[in-house]
Structure 1
Amino acid sequence: MTLDEILDRIYPLPESSKANLKKSIEEVSLPRNFCLMEAGKVVPSVYFIKKGIVRAYASAEDRDITFWFGSEGEPVVSMKSYVENNPGYEHIELLEPCDFYRLKTADLQQLYHEDIHMANWGRKFAERELVKTEELIISRQFKTALERYRDLMRNKPDLLKRVQLGHIASYLGITQVSLSRIRAEMK
C-alpha cells in the first residue's frame, strides 16, 4: 500500500502538509519474527505497514496472548508511548518479512505544533485507534469465539491464510483444539 493511501485513509491533508509529513518518514524493511516493540520500553516511532503482517501480544504466566493483528495499510503504535511517552505493555512481532513507513513520534509532535492540518490529522489518527480498541474490548466481552472467528473471516480473511492457527486461537481466546472444532463446524 502506498504512503499516500495510508495517510489519506486517516485524514486527507493539504498537499503542503502531506509533503512536510513525508519528509519525516522513512521506509524500513525487517525480517520475520523481528520484535518491533517490546513491553516495558518506550517506543519512539509510529509505523505504517506497507507490506506484511504483525501481531500484538502480551505475556501472561507461561503463554502469550495475541490481541491484535495488523496488515497492509494499518498503523502500528504503542499508544502508551505515543500519548504519554511511557513504556508500552505490548510486544509487536512480525509474522512475515515486513516493509514499513517509520515516523519518529518527536517529529510528528513537532508537526502538530506547526500545522493545524497536521494536528487535525493526529486527532483523527488517535480517534481511529481508540475506536479500534473499543471494538476489540466489546468483541471480547460480548461475542462468542465463533462470532469472533466469523468476524475475522469477514473482515480479514487473508489473515486465516497467512497466520499460524495457534496465534488465531490465542486471539480468539480459545485453544487450538477448540478452533479446529469451530472450523470443522463451519465447513
Structure 2
Amino acid sequence: MHINEIIQAIYPLPQAAAGLLKEHIMEVSFPKGHILFRQDKIENTLYFIKKGIVRAYARQEDNDITFWFGKEGDPVLSMKSYVERTKGYENVELLEDAELYQLKANELETLYLKDIHIANWGRKLAEKELVKTEERLISRQFKTASERYSELMRYSPHLLQRVQLGHIASYLGITQVSLSRIRAELK
C-alpha cells in the first residue's frame, strides 16, 4: 500500500501538509521474525505497513499472548511510548518479510507544532487506534471464542491464510485444540 493512501485514510491532509509529513517518512525492510518493538522499552518510531503482517504480543511466563495483528495500511506503534514517552508493554514481530514506512516520533512532534493539519492528523491517528483497542477489548469480554473466530473470518479472512494457527488461537484467547474444534464446527 502506498504511503499517500495510508496518510489520507487516517485523516485527509492538504497537499502541502501531506508533502511535509512525507519528507520525514522513509521506507525500510525487515525479514520475517524481526522484532520491531520490545516490551519494557521506550519506542521512538512509528511504522506504517506497506507490505506484510505483524503481531503484537506480551510474554506471560513461558507463553506469548497475541493481542493484535497488523496488515497492509495499518500503523504500528507503541501507544504507551507514543503518548506518554514511557516503556511499552508489547513486543511487535514481523510474521512475513515486510516493507514499512518509518517515522520518528520526535520528528512528528515537531511537525505537530509547525502544521495544524498534521497535528489534527496525529490526533485522528491516536483516536482511531483507541477505537480499535476498545473494539478488541469489548469483543474479548462479551463474545464467545466462536463468535470472535467468526468475526475474524468475516472481517480479516486474509489473516487466516497468512498467520500461524497458534498465533490465531492466542489472539482469540483459546488453545489450538479449541480452535481446531471451532473450525470443524463452522465447516
Aligned letter for 2:77? V
State the match for 1:18 in structure 2: 18
Task: Note if 1:95 corresponds to 2:95.
Answer: yes
State the match for 2:79 in structure 1: 79
State the match for 1:179 in structure 2: 179
Aligned letter for 1:86? T
Q: Distance in 2 between matches of 1:132 and 1:109?
A: 23
Aligned letter for 1:179? L
State the match for 2:38 in structure 1: 38
Task: Note if 1:106 corresponds to 2:102.
Answer: no
Task: Note if 1:129 corresponds to 2:129.
Answer: yes
Three-state SS of the structure 2 residue aligned to 1:158 is helix
Deviations 1:22-54 (A, max 9, x none): 000000000000000000011111000000000
Q: Distance in 2 between matches of 1:63 and 1:29?
A: 28
Aligned letter for 1:79? M
State the match for 2:3 in structure 1: 3
Three-state SS of the structure 2 residue aligned to 1:161 is helix
Aligned letter for 2:185? E
The aligned runs of 1:41-60 (5 Å cut-off) are: 41-60=41-60
Q: TM-score, length-normalised on structure 2?
A: 0.99
Q: Tell me how far 1:62 sits from its aligned partner.
A: 1.2
Aligned letter for 2:139? S
Three-state SS of the structure 2 residue aligned to 1:7 is helix
Deviations 1:83-121 (A, max 9, x none): 111110000000000000000000100000111101110
Q: Tell me how far 1:7 sits from its aligned partner.
A: 0.4
Q: Distance in 1 between matches of 2:85 and 2:123?
A: 17
**Two-structure CA RMSD over aligned residues (Å):** 0.5
Three-state SS of the structure 2 residue aligned to 1:73 is coil
Q: Distance in 2 between matches of 1:61 and 1:29?
A: 31
Q: Distance in 1 between matches of 2:118 and 2:95?
A: 31
Q: Distance in 1 between matches of 2:154 and 2:49?
A: 21
Aligned letter for 2:97? P
State the match for 1:160 in structure 2: 160
Structure 1 residue ranges without an equivalent (≥5):
none
Q: Distance in 1 between matches of 2:120 and 2:170?
A: 36
Runs of 4+ that moved beyond 4 A:
none
Q: Tell me how far 1:61 sits from its aligned partner.
A: 1.1
Q: TM-score, length-normalised on structure 1?
A: 0.99
Identity of aligned residues (%): 65
Aligned letter for 1:155? Y
Q: Tell me how far 1:71 sits from its aligned partner.
A: 0.4
